[in-house]
Structure formats: C-alpha cells, structure tokens
C-alpha cells in the first residue's frame, strides 16, 4: 500500500510544481510559495476532523522543532529553483536525496544500504551527469561545470541535501504521533512561520498580487500539495525513508514531461535519459 501512496505523492508533487512554475510567471516567488501553503490547508483541516489526536512525547516535539526551520530554507531554495531554471533541469536533482539518505538515514534512523543499493547510487550519479550531456562537446567535464552555472540546479541540490534531514526527522515525528496528524500540524506551522518572510519579501508586490488576483493561479497547486503531503506521510509510516523517497522521486519523470508540454523546454531527450537512469537507480535502491 505504501507504493500506491508514494506514487500518488509523486504525481501530485510534480503537478503542484508545474502549476506553481506557471503561476510564478507573474508573481513574487515568496508570495507564491506562501499562498500555495494557504490553499493546501482547507483539505488538511477537513481531514483533521476525522482523525483521532494521538498522544505525543518529547521526541515528537524535538523532531518537529528541528525540521521546521530546515523546511523553511528548502521552501525558499525550491521556489527560487522553479523560477530561475527549466523545470526539466532542476527537478531531476531531487534524485540526489536518496544518495544523501544512505548516510544520513543510517545516522538518524539506522537504515543500511546493500551492494545493490550502491549500484543504484552509481546510476543516480550517472543520470545526474547526463542531464547536461548536450554540453559534452565542450569537454568531458563540461556537464559538471554547467551545473554550477545553472542557479536553479545548485538550489535544488541544496534542497536535496536538506530533505534528507527533514525526511528522517519526519519519520521520527510520525513514529511518535500519526502520519496525518503530523502532516496537518506540520504544514499549519510552516504556513504560519513562513508568513512573515513572504509578506516582507513580497511587500512591494503584495497589493498588485491581491488586486490582480494572481493568487487564483495557486489554488490548484495548493490542493495538489495537500494531497502530496497527506500521502507522503502515510507512505512514510509504512516503509523505510529511503524506499519511500526513492519511489516518490518518480515525480522527476512527470516533471520533465510537464516541462516539455507546458513550457516547451529544450534538450528534453537528453534530460529524460538522465531521469530514466536515475529511476533505474531508485529501483535498485528500493529492491536492495
């Protein structure tokens, strides 16, 4: 069942990202990120009515408190990556999260990786390389250099690293509460904590954002995001962190397809090849 939840989470994440990128065309990225959270809350609040409130302990609060500021950093990096770079080039770097998780989840949660998992890591790295394979004519190391030149890719690599910590901390919080309770309370807290940042960074555009109803373009991204959050936590409670995140990273394939059809992004064949290699790596990690 966790695979079904993870696949739903992958699809709704990619959909939310694509629709958010479209909305960013005329919006301040901080306001867009905040309103996406706002529009995700109604569905989560409705779910809250139907779930029991679990008993929580100090481990829940500790994991919650550490993950929250880290998540805010990822929000800023993530939304900037969506704005400044092609969707098909930035989203695949989320595939690096399982690579980082091999060490970090072991240190935090105690998960170990087998030889097959190591082979998966190799394919993920190879996939990352081929994302910029169109640059290879300029030299064998040019794809690596182009990563540093593409700001969105750099931002998304940072997101991938931080996600390892938030995913592992989220697992701990779920184990000391419940999946939906953590999802609901966590995203309510994120919305409240991110509000001062969004209002300050978007203060010059806020009036026009409201007057011109730019926020309407973030309703569907918010709804998709709420479904992603709920299914993410449900899947996380049923399997290991690295396994769940690996399957969820199918969103990068969906994101590349969205990038081609919605934004007519170039070099799609080269990037799709890289994403497929990463996906094969995920399969090896999951089946390890």
pLDDT tens per residue, range 29-57: 899 999 999 999 999 999 999 999 999 99
How confident is the model over 119-133, as pLDDT tens digits?
877 787 677 667 666
Instruction: Find the mean pLDDT for residues 142-156.
Output: 75
| 8 Å CB contact between 223 and 59 | no
Tokens of 80: 């900037």
The residues spanned by each domain of the chain are 2-287
pLDDT band at 264 (very low <50, low <70, confident <90, very high): confident
Query: Backbone phi, then psi, for 33, in 5-degree steps?
Result: -65, -45
d(CA 241, CA 209): 38
Cβ–Cβ under 8 Å, residues 190 and 37: yes
What is the token pair recorded at 224? 């998709």
pLDDT beyond 70 at 134: no
Looking at residue 242, its pLDDT comes to: 77
Residue 55 carries which DSSP code? Answer: P
pTM: 0.83
Residue 252: half-sphere exposure toward Cβ, Cα within 13 Å: 31
Number of helices and strands (H, E) in the chain? Answer: 14, 0
Higher per-residue pLDDT: 134 or 183: 183
The CA distance from 230 to 108, in Å, is: 23
With beta carbons less than 8 A apart as the criterion, state whether 231 and 248 touch: no
Distance CA 135, CA 114 (A): 33
Neighbour count for residue 171 (Cβ, 10 Å) = 23
């Amino acid at each position: 069942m966790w695979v079904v939840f993870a696949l739903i989470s992958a699809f709704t994440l990619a959909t939310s990202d694509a629709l958010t990128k479209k909305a960013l065309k005329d919006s301040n990225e901080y306001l867009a990120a905040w309103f996406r959270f706002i529009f995700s809350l109604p569905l989560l609040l409705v779910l809250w009515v139907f779930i029991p409130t679990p008993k929580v302990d100090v481990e829940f609060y500790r994991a919650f408190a550490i993950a929250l500021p880290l998540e805010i950093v990822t929000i800023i990096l993530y939304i900037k990556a969506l704005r400044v770079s092609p969707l098909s080039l930035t989203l695949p770097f989320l595939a690096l999260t399982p690579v980082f998780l091999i060490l970090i989840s072991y240190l935090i949660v105690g998960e170990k990786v087998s030889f097959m998992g190591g082979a998966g890591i190799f394919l993920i790295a190879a996939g990352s390389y081929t994302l910029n394979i169109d640059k290879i004519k300029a030299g064998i190391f040019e794809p690596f250099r182009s990563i540093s030149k593409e700001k969105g890719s750099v931002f998304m690599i940072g997101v991938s690293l931080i996600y390892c910590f938030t995913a592992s901390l989220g697992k701990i919080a779920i184990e000391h509460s419940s999946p939906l309770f953590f999802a609901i309370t966590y995203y309510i807290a994120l919305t409240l904590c991110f509000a001062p940042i969004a209002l300050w960074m978007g203060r010059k555009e806020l009036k026009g954002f409201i007057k011109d109803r730019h926020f309407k373009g973030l309703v569907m991204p918010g709804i998709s995001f709420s479904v992603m959050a709920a299914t993410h936590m449900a899947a996380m409670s049923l399997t290991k962190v690295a396994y769940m995140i690996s399957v969820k990273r199918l969103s990068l394939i969906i994101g590349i397809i969205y990038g081609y059809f919605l934004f007519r992004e170039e070099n799609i064949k080269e990037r799709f090849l890289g994403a497929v290699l990463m996906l094969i790596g995920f399969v090896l990690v999951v089946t390890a």
